[in-house]
A and B are shown apart, each in its own frame.
Chain A
Amino acid sequence: MPELQYLIRWIREGCGRDRVIATRDRVLPLDKLEGWTALGPDLEKLRGRSVVLSVQDMASAAAALIELDGVARRVVLCPAAWDPWRLESAAITAEAESLVYDGADAPTIRVSHAAACQFPLRPLASPRIAEFETEWVLPTSGTTGPPKLVLHTLSTLTGAIADAPAQRWATFYDIRRYGGLQIFLRALMGCGSLVVGSPGEEIGSMLARFGSAGITHISGTPTHWRKVLMSGQGHRIDPDYVRLSGEIADGPILSALRAFYPRARIEHAYASTEAGVVFAVGDEMPGFPARWIESVGNVVELKIVDDTLRVRSNRCARRFLGQDAPSLSDENGFVDTGDVVERRGDRCYFMGRRGGVISFGGLKIHPEEVETVLNSIELVSASRVFARRSPVTGALIYADVVLRDGCAPDADTELKILSACRARLAPHSAPAAVRFVDDLPMTAGGKIARHG
């Protein structure tokens, strides 16, 4: 058995470098966490417990995670926006008897013990002792039904993180979701710093703060990056490394980022809460090399079954929590990602979610495939394709389109967009109509909102 690692180790190792985790409203000085605490005397009451972490501020979340790793038996990372009903439901499923919260009042859920995560930090009464392999529990970001709780450990979460010292990271993600948590852990393990957004903060404000902090590495979804390019504030940062994940990175966004950040290395990563980090693609082309499928001896094994990608690696989550929870992987340990992949020659391309397919006259349409075509049109800066119910044809394919600056939202523009789609898509896939919108709805996870 390899020796267990705890987050506090990377606090100690990175000491003396003025590392911080900063939101708009708060700065967490990491050096100080060796001898100071946000949880106070309550920290010892959480030892060996299963803890629901429900805090509003991401610097509080970071402090609590660092302090609880190795101390709590289990930590459930709840999104800031969760109401007491959802918190309690998660607490029951995760058999949590404790709660960590910030702000004035604890959420009213039934737990035996509630601890406040408070700033400024207070001196720690005794040296930190980390002893448990804490289970990290993340809700799935599924868009339908109640979220499932996915169980990871620090070992599964950090399996893809290589030695990369002293990076100054920024992310548009919430660090309590899988994509953001990866960046939080990268910053900690690389003895670097991290700057993150605050709830409701505009992308321009984030970019200004990221730029002032001199960030070198930055991560977000393609939707986040389209917003950056549309914001007019993208020049505020000058990163060495730009990472896209969480959604399909299409050719137009990759080449737009290449043109905008000529100095940066650009990668699109493929990961999910259940399957963990699968791979990162660095050749700035959409999709990934087909030879990665069924290559023997890789750390991450891939296969395509029924058109969807299956993954097996030591970065996959251990299991779902809950009495009637389904199995996370098949009998051979492969996780079904639900992401549809199509092989064309020596490249594989992501087509969309299996559950997101639109049925149209018996034919299947992946909204993401249509969006890729839309986004490649000169007039279009971002798009969202969806099905609208129709009493005539059953469904109609509509596209919400954000135009580039200076393009008129008129019938002539709509005609140009529809014609370009018809020229490049199968007749059933081409949108029937375009709606011009100022902005696209985004989920808390930074992805295009496809429901509601």
Chain B
Amino acid sequence: MSMRDTILNEMRAIATLHGKRLPELTDGLPLSESGLDSLCFALLVARLEDILDRDPLSETPNARFPSTVGEFVALYEEAVA
């Protein structure tokens, strides 16, 4: 499974668990409009750390928090590259 698919699957799973509705997840979609709140993002980062054994937000000094779905996926793609 690609990194993108892994991340989008986790986003959908978290949305279901926490009763959130997701719009279509395109690269340009701002995370603030994704329907997920900060708790869901915290959970997304934790679940991805369990799957990938990587947490780029903590690992990268001064990491800029991604603002779109595409940037979020790119951050993880770079981390495992």
Q: B45: which A residues are within 8 A, CB to CB?
A: 390-392
- With contacts A393-B38, A393-B39, A418-B18 known, is A388 near B13, CB below 8 A? no
Provide the main secondary structure of the chain A interface: mixed
Q: Which of A414, A419, A432 contacts B42 (CB 8 A)?
A: A432
Contacting residues of chain B (1-57) with chain A, CB-CB under 8 angstroms: 13, 16-19, 38-39, 41-43, 45-47, 55, 57
- With contacts A418-B18, A433-B46, A433-B47 known, is A392 near B41, CB below 8 A? yes
Tell me whether A392 and B38 are in contact (CB under 8 A): yes
CB of B62 closer than 8 Å to a CB of A:
no
Minimal beta-carbon separation of B54 from chain A (angstroms): 12
Tell me whether B46 and A396 are in contact (CB under 8 A): yes
Bound Cα distance A388, B46 (Å): 8
- With contacts A391-B55, A391-B58, A393-B38 known, is A432 near B13, CB below 8 A? no
Give the contact-size bracket for chain A: 10 to 19
Q: Which of A388, A390, A398, A415 contacts B17 (CB 8 A)?
A: A415
Minimal beta-carbon separation of B50 from chain A (angstroms): 9
Minimal beta-carbon separation of B13 from chain A (angstroms): 7
Q: Give the residue name and chain of the B residue nearest to A428 (CB).
A: B39
Bound Cα distance A441, B30 (Å): 41
Bound Cα distance A392, B39 (Å): 8
CB of A426 closer than 8 Å to a CB of B:
no
* Further contacts, 10 of them, CB under 8 A, given A414-B17, A419-B19: A389-B58, A390-B42, A391-B57, A392-B38, A392-B45, A393-B38, A396-B42, A411-B16, A411-B17, A432-B18
The 0/1 profile, CB within 8 Å of B marked 1, for residues 89-118 of chain A is 000000000000000000000000000000
- With contacts A390-B46, A392-B45 known, is A432 near B39, CB below 8 A? yes
Q: A415: which B residues are within 8 A, CB to CB?
A: 16-17
Contacting residues of chain A (371-393) with chain B, CB-CB under 8 angstroms: 388-393
- With contacts A432-B39, A433-B46 known, is A392 near B57, CB below 8 A? yes
Bound Cα distance A320, B38 (Å): 46
Bound Cα distance A389, B45 (Å): 11
Tell me whether A392 and B42 are in contact (CB under 8 A): yes
Bound Cα distance A415, B55 (Å): 25
Q: A396: which B residues are within 8 A, CB to CB?
A: 39, 42-43, 46
Q: B42: which A residues are within 8 A, CB to CB?
A: 390-393, 396, 432
Minimal beta-carbon separation of A180 from chain B (angstroms): 38
Bound Cα distance A433, B46 (Å): 10
Minimal beta-carbon separation of B65 from chain A (angstroms): 8
Q: Give the residue name and chain of the B residue nearest to A395 (CB).
A: B42
A388, A391, A415, A433, most chain B CB atoms within 10 A: A391
Bound Cα distance A432, B18 (Å): 8
Contacting residues of chain A (409-427) with chain B, CB-CB under 8 angstroms: 411, 414-415, 418-419
Tell me whether B13 and A411 are in contact (CB under 8 A): yes
Minimal beta-carbon separation of A340 from chain B (angstroms): 25
Q: B18: which A residues are within 8 A, CB to CB?
A: 418, 432
B18, B38, B41, B42, most chain A CB atoms within 10 A: B42
Bound Cα distance A414, B18 (Å): 10
Q: B13: which A residues are within 8 A, CB to CB?
A: 411
Q: B19: which A residues are within 8 A, CB to CB?
A: 419
Minimal beta-carbon separation of B33 from chain A (angstroms): 17
The 5 A-B residue pairs with the shortest CB-CB distance in the complex, in nearest-first order:
A392-B42, A391-B57, A393-B42, A390-B42, A391-B58
Bound Cα distance A433, B42 (Å): 11
B13, B16, B46, B57, most chain A CB atoms within 10 A: B46
Q: A414: which B residues are within 8 A, CB to CB?
A: 17
Minimal beta-carbon separation of A421 from chain B (angstroms): 11
Q: A392: which B residues are within 8 A, CB to CB?
A: 38, 41-42, 45, 57
Q: Which of B17, B38, B58 contacts A418 (CB 8 A)?
A: B17
